[in-house]
Homo-oligomer: A and B are copies of this chain.
Amino acid sequence: MKLEQPERSTRAGLTPKEARELFRAGLSVPTAGYSAGYAQANLIIVPKDLAFDVLLFAQRNPKSCPILGVLEAGQTSNELLVDGDIRTDLPKYTVYENGEKIAEPTDLTEYWRDDLVTFIVGCSFTFEAALIENGISIAHIDHGTNVPMYKSSIRSASAGSLTGPMVVSMRPIPAAQVADAVRITSRYPAVHGAPVHVGNPEEIGITDLGKPDFGDAPLMPDGAIPVFWACGVSPQAAVMESRPTLAIGHAPGHMLITDARDSQYQVP
């Protein structure tokens, strides 16, 4: 298997299993544009003694942390990654010890323990496809960059030892399409749903849109309104603030490609 990035149309046409096999073999690239129509997901992996706190954090923060599936301790695949292995099938991971990032490995062999529990968390890539289908262009996709993400001044609801800021992703939307963007993303509650904030970044503690905490700086088209959605990096932000001994996430933009179709997460 060649480890060069496939052509754009080839990437889009890979099955999720084929894409995961490429990443397992060592390809380490952002996953935007891979396996069109299939849901991509955030990861958060913690030792079993912290698992209740993470699941409770998700229950209390459903917009930022919508759980698509859970791998119990010792489990490395489920119906979201058939024949897969959560330890190897993402292109890149982030490992935190005591809240500090210590590594960004391309597989977890060196860090894996049998008491680790994996949470698979919905990702906004799913609703971005729906926005584009409905004629709303997504600036960071047009420019081939990563979505800008910010630690906001909104606090996540805390759970046990976990507490932290809500991380939000931002997309500039033309004023005439803001209502449509709200309506369309509302139909995807399992992948962050409706925006948490429309316009006026200062109100949620973002003083400079040009300096995101994660991802790439945005280009703001004239007349566009910054629209903010709850982001699946929020549990990682809580992990950074709450400093458990070990936690593992995906690397930003380097997601799990699941066997679930985007359309499964749409409500009527």
Contact = CB atoms under 8 A, between A and B. Distances in A.
Interface in A33-87: 48, 51-52, 55-56, 58-60, 67, 70, 72
A162 to B, nearest CB: 11
A99 B67 CA distance: 29
Contact of A72 (B56, B58, B67): B56
Nearest to A54: B52
A255 B186 CA distance: 32
A257 B78 CA distance: 38
A67 B67 CA distance: 14
Nearest to A68: B59
A160 B267 CA distance: 29
A126 B239 CA distance: 36
A159 B51 CA distance: 13
A57 to B, nearest CB: 11
A229 to B, nearest CB: 19
Contact of A52 (B51, B60, B67): B51
Q: In terms of DSSP, what is the predominant structure of the interface of chain A?
A: helix
A160 B74 CA distance: 11
B55 A59 contact: yes
A159 to B, nearest CB: 8
Nearest to A55: B55
Nearest to A49: B52
A52 B59 contact: no
Nearest to A58: B59
Contact of A70 (B56, B67, B72): B56
Contacts of A160: 72
Contacts of A70: 56, 59-60
A64 to B, nearest CB: 16
Contacts of A55: 52, 55-56, 59
A237 B67 CA distance: 24
Interface string A222-264: 0000000000000000000000000000000000000000000
Contacts of A67: 59
Top-7 shortest CB links A-B? A52-B52, A55-B55, A51-B52, A59-B67, A56-B70, A72-B160, A55-B56
